[in-house]
Amino acid sequence: MEFIISSKSKKPIYEQIVTQIKELILKGALKEGDSLPAIRSFAKSLRVSVITVQKAYEILQREGFIDSAVGRGTFVSSQDMEKVREACFQTIKVKLGEIVHESKINGISFDEMIDLLKNLYDKGAK
């Protein structure tokens, strides 16, 4: 697993860990029952505090992505993909709503937005 932790980012470190693990699960790189790194060794390899990793795992657990079994480690739990997808769709909708709001105020047209979106979608397609 490759993890990139940027201390320059405004996003807190624990959040960076959370999103990257979520992405691995959603992409299928991590499947149900797979084990996650032990907190201590993970923290060491990421060069962050143990507490930070612990916090990330706690959040993932609370959101149902992983399960921790004392003494045995941490594992990816079963996902209701449709539910996850729906939740993600909602957050994206909200974020997009904010962007549209700002765009209108600045007189950015619908067509300009489409162009921008098209570019961004193609770029990452590589």
Partner DNA sequence: GTGGTCTAGACCACC
Partner DNA sequence: GTGGTCTAGACCACG
Site residues for DNA per CB under 7 A: 12-15, 36-41, 48-52, 54-55, 57-58, 61, 68-74
Q: Are strands 35-36 and 73-76 parallel, antiparallel or unpaired?
A: antiparallel
> In sequence order, which residues have a C-beta less than 8 Å from that of residue 73 and are 6 or more positions away?
35, 36, 38
Choosing among its own copies, DNA, none, which partner's interface includes residue 61 (Cβ < 5 to 8 Å by kind)? DNA
Q: How far is the CB of 13 from its own copies (least distance, A)?
A: 9
10 to 49, contacts with its own copies by CB under 8 A? Answer: 12, 23, 26-27
> Tokens 């480690």 sit at which residue?
73
Cβ atoms 43, 17 nearer than 8 A? no
Which tokens is 79 given?
Answer: 């996902």
Residue ranges in contact with its own copies by CB under 8 A: 7-8, 12, 23, 26-27, 62, 67, 69-70, 72, 84-85, 88-89, 91-93, 95-108, 110, 113-114, 116-118, 120-121, 124
